[in-house]
């Protein structure tokens, strides 16, 4: 009679023999389960080849040309690696082969819903006239359903006895009340850990983005896999870490902050983000995508039809550039995109640290009211960007939400106090900035913008802004 351990080994051998090998730049040769290969070989998944992983960072970091496609393969691999490690160490958790494969599929499909230029598309949709709220996580669930339906994959999921609703929950996560009622709640922390932020999605993109951006990222996910352990904490089964991995976790969260500060929210990257969003807003009603029933959708609504959404990729940039028509909004959109290509970018005016009670709109209103009467500077030529650098949980220290176990007490989880780790830990875990940008190129108006910004901060009792050096390519008045 075959034991559970022997059965597990047979299943692993099957994956290795029957699966498909991919040569990945980060993880080396990785084996992907046959069901995952069926998913990969669909138009809906192949779409991820044409979505830049770090969006507009590619306009600033020339090597950052990697895509959501390879990231998704990496997350699938890491998800399987972590769940199998826990399965082998803790057989009492009753993790079966269906659980393992479900977690791998969730890792593979977690980013199906991303739009062009990744997270920037969500900002565009939020700023558009669209009535319904939209997130890429919701779109991932819809695209997952559509992928299965359009490619007749239900029989393959039935073959491996997988629950599609379970996989979708693994992608989006559980609510707090759902976690407490679920003995396998820890499975939902593997791909997207909403409790601590320690998950395989981040492990992959920190390393992959750092590699392609040329930014050194220092943390060891192999040790985190090795020392992950499921323990019941306050009635909830969750993934805990060995106490000696605390500094490794700090390195991981610091990697996130470094990537945001150095690349994702780089001053020029954010300026190009603003230009792309302005271009998409102008082109919104003039570039259409046809849905399954023949309906043509404006850009902000393409996500309502997965057939149309399958065709929405980064080539939206050139669709706008090559679009025919002389409507002023479309002409303006083309002009903005041409300016990106010619490096005629919006201009950084300066930045300040915001007060909690001051919103972007309030600051912009106050700046506008401080523009000199004789100035030709218009409010519409100014924009406020809000940027944050943190460890993933805002102003909170994410280590406080992780539970640790010791070598001598592997089934007891506890918090680790800061004084147990080091006296040199960060005292703050978030920095915020308001950046003022100027969307034209007149020298006098730029000077007026800086003066108005300085006076507005004083009027609002905010820190005096750090002002940019004078750009040499401005037109003199």
Question: In the chain, what's the furthest Cα-to-Cα distance?
Answer: 90
Reduced to 3 states (helix: H, G, I; strand: E, B; else coil), residue 263 is: helix
- DSSP secondary structure code for residue 475 in this structure: B
- Measured between alpha carbons, how far is residue 142 from residues 121, 135, 441 in Å? 17, 11, 43
Whether 66 is a known active-site residue: answer no
Q: What angle do CA 351, 353, 357 make, to 5 degrees?
A: 125
Neighbouring C-alpha atoms within 13 Å toward the C-beta of 12:
13
Are 50 and 67 in contact by the 8 Å Cβ rule? The answer is yes
Are 111 and 45 in contact by the 8 Å Cβ rule? The answer is no
Which residue out of 33, 71, 114, 136 is catalytically annotated?
136
| Contacting residues for 463 by C-beta, under 8 A, at least 6 apart | 352, 353, 457
Burial class (CB in 10 A: 0-12, 13-18, 19+), 273: buried
- Measured between alpha carbons, how far is residue 321 from residues 279, 280, 328 in Å? 10, 11, 14
* Helices 360-369 and 443-459: angle between axes, nearest 10 degrees: 120
Q: What is the dihedral of CA 84, 85, 88, 90, to 10 degrees?
A: -110
Q: Scanning the structure block, which residue is given the tokens 């998913």?
A: 39
CA distance 102 to 292: 29
* Helices 328-341 and 267-283: angle between axes, nearest 10 degrees: 160
Q: Which of 31, 71, 34 is nearest to 51 (CA)?
A: 71
What does the block give as tokens for 415? 């918090």
The CB density around residue 46, as the number of other CB atoms within 10 Å, is 12
Q: Scanning the structure block, which residue is given the tokens 């069926």?
A: 38
Q: What is the dihedral of CA 184, 185, 189, 193, to 10 degrees?
A: 180
Reduced to 3 states (helix: H, G, I; strand: E, B; else coil), residue 23 is: strand
CA distance 367 to 237: 51
Q: Which of 311, 299, 255 is nearest to 127 (CA)?
A: 299
| Contacting residues for 61 by C-beta, under 8 A, at least 6 apart | 54, 212, 213, 214, 263
What does the block give as tokens for 460? 């609002």
The catalytic site residues sit at: 136
């Amino acid at each position: 009679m075959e034991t559970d351990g022997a059965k597990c080994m047979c299943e692993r051998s099957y994956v290795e023999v029957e699966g498909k090998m991919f040569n990945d730049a980060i993880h080396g040769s990785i084996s992907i389960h046959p069901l995952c290969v069926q998913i990969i070989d669909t138009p809906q998944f192949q779409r991820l080849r044409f979505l830049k992983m770090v969006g507009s960072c590619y306009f600033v970091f020339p090597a950052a040309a990697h895509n959501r496609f390879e990231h998704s393969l990496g997350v699938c691999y890491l998800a399987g690696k972590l769940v199998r490690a826990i399965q082998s160490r803790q057989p009492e958790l009753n993790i079966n082969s269906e659980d393992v494969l479900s977690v791998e599929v969730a890792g593979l499909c977690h980013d199906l819903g991303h739009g062009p230029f990744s997270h920037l598309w969500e900002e565009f949709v939020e700023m558009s006239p669209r009535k319904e709220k939209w997130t890429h996580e919701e779109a991932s669930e819809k695209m997952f359903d559509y992928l299965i339906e359009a490619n007749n994959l239900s029989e393959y999921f039935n073959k491996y006895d997988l629950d599609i609703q379970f996989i979708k929950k693994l992608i989006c996560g559980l609510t707090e009340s759902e976690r407490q009622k679920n003995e396998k709640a820890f499975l939902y922390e593997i791909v997207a850990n909403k409790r601590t932020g320690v998950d395989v999605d981040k492990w992959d993109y920190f390393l992959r983005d750092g590699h392609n951006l040329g930014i050194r990222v220092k943390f060891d996910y192999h040790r985190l896999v090795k020392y992950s352990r499921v323990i019941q904490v306050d009635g909830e089964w969750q993934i805990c870490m060995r106490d000696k991995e605390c500094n490794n976790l700090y390195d991981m969260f610091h990697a996130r902050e470094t990537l945001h500060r150095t690349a994702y929210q780089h001053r020029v990257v954010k300026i190009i983000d603003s230009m792309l969003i302005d271009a998409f807003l102008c082109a919104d009603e003039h570039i259409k995508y046809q849905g399954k029933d023949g309906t043509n959708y404006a850009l902000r609504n393409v996500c309502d039809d997965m057939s149309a959404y399958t065709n929405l990729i980064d080539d939206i940039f050139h669709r706008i550039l090559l679009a025919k028509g002389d409507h002023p909004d479309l002409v303006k959109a083309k002009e903005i995109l041409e300016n990106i290509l010619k490096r005629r970018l919006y201009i950084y005016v300066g930045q300040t640290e915001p007060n909690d009670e001051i919103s972007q709109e309030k600051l912009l209103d106050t700046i506008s009211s401080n523009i000199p009467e004789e100035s030709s500077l218009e409010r519409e030529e100014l924009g406020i960007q809000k940027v944050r650098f943190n460890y993933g949980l805002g102003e909170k220290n994410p280590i406080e939400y992780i539970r640790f176990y010791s070598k001598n007490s592997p089934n007891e989880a506890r918090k680790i106090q800061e004084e147990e780790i080091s006296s040199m830990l960060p005292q703050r875990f978030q920095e915020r900035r308001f950046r003022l940008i100027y969307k034209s190129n007149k020298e006098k108006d730029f000077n007026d913008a800086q003066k108005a910004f300085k006076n507005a901060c004083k009027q609002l009792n905010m820190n005096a802004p750090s002002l940019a050096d004078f750009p040499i390519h401005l037109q003199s008045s």
